[in-house]
């Protein structure tokens, strides 16, 4: 009984490691672990149950992510797989790992601010300064709250003039 329990624990650990290689199709430097969308991994008999949560309600990448997780598990020989999606508690950029934030900056996307700044509904409310991922200047301006994907806003650096994406706080 103890051996089986250790076996399950080890298998679950190996699945967490395996998922480090499954990436977000829209932001391919981030794994699903970095993104913080894997909420739970459990094994019931021979069934692997992976619980994920969407970043944004309409994020079209979720279906691809589910499929990629399934493929990665199939390749490792798991046959009985269930991907469950839960909405609560709601995903927040606070769950993006520190490693993930570093990877984002290196990729040219400004990572979400470490201090969670929730968007205010007030018109023209000032946002906290966003650092340019290229020249590190804080002298940047918001171009649009809506960028190339649901999770990003468009900014431009006033110093090096580089336009860049910001992974907005959520």
Question: Which of 49, 117 has the CB closer to other proteins?
Answer: 117
Under the binding rule (CB under 8 A), the answer on residue 45 touching other proteins is no
In whole angstroms, what is the distance from residue 60 CA to residue 102 CA?
A: 24
Q: Where are the alpha helices (DSSP H) in 20-147?
A: 32-35, 61-75, 98-107
Under the binding rule (CB under 8 A), the answer on residue 119 touching other proteins is yes
Q: Among 45, 46, 77, 124, which residue interacts with other proteins (rule: CB under 8 A)?
A: 124
Q: Among 6, 146, 158, 159, which residue interacts with other proteins (rule: CB under 8 A)?
A: 146
Q: Where are the alpha helices (DSSP H) in 20-60?
A: 32-35
Under the binding rule (CB under 8 A), the answer on residue 75 touching other proteins is no
In whole angstroms, what is the distance from residue 55 CA to residue 52 CA?
A: 10
Contact at 8 Å (CB) between 143 and 132?
no
In the three-class reduction of DSSP (H, G, I as helix; E, B as strand; rest coil), residue 155 is classed as strand
Shortest gap between Cβ of 115 and other proteins (angstroms)?
17
Binding-site ranges for other proteins (CB under 8 A)? 54, 56-60, 86-88, 90-91, 118-125, 143-148, 150, 154, 170
């Amino acid at each position: 009984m103890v051996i089986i329990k250790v076996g399950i624990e080890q298998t679950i650990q190996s699945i967490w490691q395996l998922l480090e290689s499954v990436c977000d199709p829209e932001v391919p430097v981030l794994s699903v672990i970095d993104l913080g969308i894997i909420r739970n991994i459990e094994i019931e008999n021979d069934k692997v149950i992976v619980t994920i949560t969407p970043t944004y309600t309409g994020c079209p990448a979720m279906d691809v992510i589910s499929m990629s997780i399934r493929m990665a598990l199939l390749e490792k020989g798991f046959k009985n797989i269930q991907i469950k999606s839960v909405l609560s508690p709601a995903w927040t950029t606070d769950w993006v790992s520190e490693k993930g934030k570093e990877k984002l900056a290196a990729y040219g996307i400004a990572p979400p601010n470490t201090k969670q700044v929730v968007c205010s509904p007030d018109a023209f409310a000032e946002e906290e300064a966003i650092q340019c991922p290229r020249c590190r200047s804080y002298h940047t301006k918001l171009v649009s709250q809506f960028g190339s994907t649901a999770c990003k806003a468009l900014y431009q650096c006033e110093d090096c003039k580089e336009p860049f994406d910001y992974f907005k706080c959520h």
